[in-house]
Amino acid sequence: MRIKLFESKKISWKITIYYAIIFSLVLMMLSASVLYGLRIYLINQAINKAMNTSNSIIERINGSTGEQMSLDDPELFAGEQDSTISARIVNSNKIMINSLSKFNWSKLQISTNNSVKPLEVDGLHLVVANRQILNGDNGIAYLQVVVNMNKEYVFLEALFVLMAGADLVGIAISLFAGYLMSRRMLYPIDRITRAAQSISVNDLNRRIEVSQTDDELSRLAKTFNEMIERLQLSFEKQKQFVSDASHELRTPISVILGYIGLIDRWGKEDADVLHESINAIKNESIGMMELIKKLLFLAKGDSRNQKLKIDEFSLNELIDEIGRESELISQKHTIQYSSSGEISLLADRKMIKQMLRALIDNSVKYTPEKGSISLLAYKRNNLININIRDTGIGIPSHEISKIFDRFYRIDKARAKETGGSGLGLAIVRWIVDAHKGKITVESNLGDGTNITVELPAIAES
C-alpha cells in the first residue's frame, strides 16, 4: 500500500526522500558495522589480556620464569600493574587464598573448567578467565582473572552517540543536497511543462530548448518538439482542408443561389429561364454531392474508419469492365485495354475499380479528342502492375509530386471546365496506400502521362 505522503509530493521531493532513506540506511549499516567490529575487537583484546595474565601467574607458580612461588605468596601478583585486571586463587573448597589487590567480584562463580568468556555483572562488562592449578600435595586450586571492560564500553557508548549525531547531520545534508540535485536534474522537465502550457492551437510555433547533452531529458525534449511539429503539420493540413472544402462548396452554392434568384425574378413567366435554372441547379447539386462523397471518403480514411472488404477476384474481368465502360462514356477517344495472362487479386474490388475509374476519368479530361488511352494489367515478380497511359497534355515535371495533394489542380481554369475538384487523385493515393501498394507517375508537358500502380499479389487489410 503506497504512502499518501509520497503520493502528494512533487517528483523532486520523492527523489529527495528516497535518496535520503537509502543514504540513511547505508549510514546506519556502516555505523552499526563499525561499532560491532570495534566491540568484537575490544572483547578479543580483553580476552587476550586475561589469558596472558593467567599464563604469567601460572608460570610464576610453576617456576617457569624463575623461583617457584607458592599460591599464597603476596608477591605472586606483583608483576600485574593494570588497574582493569583483578585476580584471585581459591582452593578446592572455593576459599580464597590469594588475590590481586582488592577483589570486588565475589559474586562471580569459580568454574572448575578452563574457560575464558565475556560476562555482564551488575551492569558492568567483564571478561573472566578460569584456570585450574595443580597445588602439589594440597590438591587442585583455581585461578580466576577478571578484566574490567567498563572504560571500553563507555568509549563505545560515546562513539555511538557521536556517530548517531554524525548520521543525523549526514541525513540532513543529504536531504538538502538531494533536493538541490533533484531540482537541478528535473529543471528541464519544469521547462518542458511551462512550454507545453504556453502552447495552444493558435500558437504551435513555439519549441522547447534542447540541451547539447545526450540524456533522457534532452531526448524527451526532442520527442516533444517532434510531436508539436506533427501536430502543427496536422492542424495546418486540417485548416487547409477545411478552407479548400469551404471554397469548393461555396462556388456551387453561390451558383444555386444565383439561379434561385433568377427563377424568383423571371422564371415564373419565362419557361426558358426556368428550364435553364433547374438544369443548372441540378448539375451543381450533383457536383456538390460528389464532392461531399469524396470529402467523407477521405475523412473516414483519415480517421481509420474506412475498412477494406478483401476478396479474391479476377483482375482481367475488372480491366475488361472498366474498358467497356470507358468506351461508352468517352467515344471521342481511343480506349485500349488488355491483361497479360490470368491475374487474380486479393483486394477490395470496389475500391480498386474506384481507383481505376478515377485514373481513366483523369486521362479522359486531359487528353484531347481523338487521343488514345491505354489500360494494361500484368504480373511481375509477385507484384501486380496496372499501367494507364494517355496522349494528353502532360504534367510539368515540377508539378508531379503535388498532383496527389488534396484540392491540388495544375490548370485551375481547365479544372472549372472539366468539373474537377482536386480530390480524385488524393483518393487514388489513399486506396493504393491502403492496399500496401505503390504508384508512380512519368510525364512531361505535351508528351502525355504514364501512371503505374503496383499492388502485392495478396493485399493486406
The answer to whether the CB of 156 falls within 8 A of the CB of 23 is no
φ, ψ for residue 58, nearest 5 deg: -65, -35
d(CA 99, CA 446): 130
CA distances to 49, 52, 94, 258, 364 from 71, in Å: 21, 18, 14, 140, 135
Q: Which of 39-43, 214-218, 320-324, 346-350 has the lowest average pLDDT?
A: 214-218
Q: Give the mean pLDDT of the chain.
A: 82
Question: DSSP assignment of 271-310, as one string?
Answer: HHHHHHHHHHHHHHHHHHHHHHHHHHHHHHHHTT------
Compare 268 and 113 and report the one with higher pLDDT: 113
d(CA 302, CA 296): 10
According to the model, what pLDDT value does residue 202 have? 65
The whole-number average pLDDT for the span 235-249 is 73
The whole-number average pLDDT for the span 186-206 is 72
Q: Which of 81-90, 113-122, 223-232, 422-431 has the lowest average pLDDT?
A: 223-232
φ, ψ for residue 356, nearest 5 deg: -65, -40
The whole-number average pLDDT for the span 101-109 is 74
Compare 88 and 268 and report the one with higher pLDDT: 88
pLDDT at 206 over 50: yes
The whole-number average pLDDT for the span 407-425 is 64
Compare 267 and 368 and report the one with higher pLDDT: 368
Q: Assign 3-class secondary structure to 106-159.
A: CCCCCCCCCEEEEEEECCEEEEEEEEEEECHHHCEEEEEEEEECHHHHHHHHHH
To the nearest 5 percent, what fractions of the chain are helix, strand and coil?
Answer: 55, 20, 25
Question: What band does 1 get if pLDDT is binned at 50, 70 and 90?
Answer: very low
Place of cell 502492375: 385
According to the model, what pLDDT value does residue 137 have? 62
The structural domains of the chain, ordered by start, are 11-164 (3.30.450.20), 229-300 (1.10.287.130), 307-456 (3.30.565.10)
According to the model, what pLDDT value does residue 96 have? 86
According to the model, what pLDDT value does residue 461 have? 42
d(CA 128, CA 206): 81
Exposure string (b/e) for 428-450, b if CB count within 10 Å is 16 or more? bbbbbebbebebebebeeeebbb
According to the model, what pLDDT value does residue 421 have? 67
Closest CA to 350 of 386, 379, 322: 322
pLDDT at 48 over 70: yes
- CA angle 104-108-87, nearest 5°? 55
The whole-number average pLDDT for the span 209-234 is 76
pLDDT in tens, 317-375: 999 999 998 888 888 899 999 998 899 999 999 999 999 998 998 899 889 988 999 99
pLDDT at 413 over 60: no
- CA angle 451-455-459, nearest 5°? 150
Question: What band does 417 get if pLDDT is binned at 50, 70 and 90?
Answer: low
The whole-number average pLDDT for the span 135-148 is 82
d(CA 259, CA 265): 10
Place of cell 608460570: 59
Amino acid identity for residue 319 in this structure: I
The whole-number average pLDDT for the span 233-249 is 74
The whole-number average pLDDT for the span 228-256 is 77
Strand pairing of 334-339 and 372-380?
parallel
According to the model, what pLDDT value does residue 381 have? 83
Compare 60 and 422 and report the one with higher pLDDT: 60
C-alpha cell at 17: 526522500
d(CA 224, CA 201): 15
pLDDT at 162 over 70: yes
What SS3 class is residue 421?
Answer: coil
According to the model, what pLDDT value does residue 167 have? 87
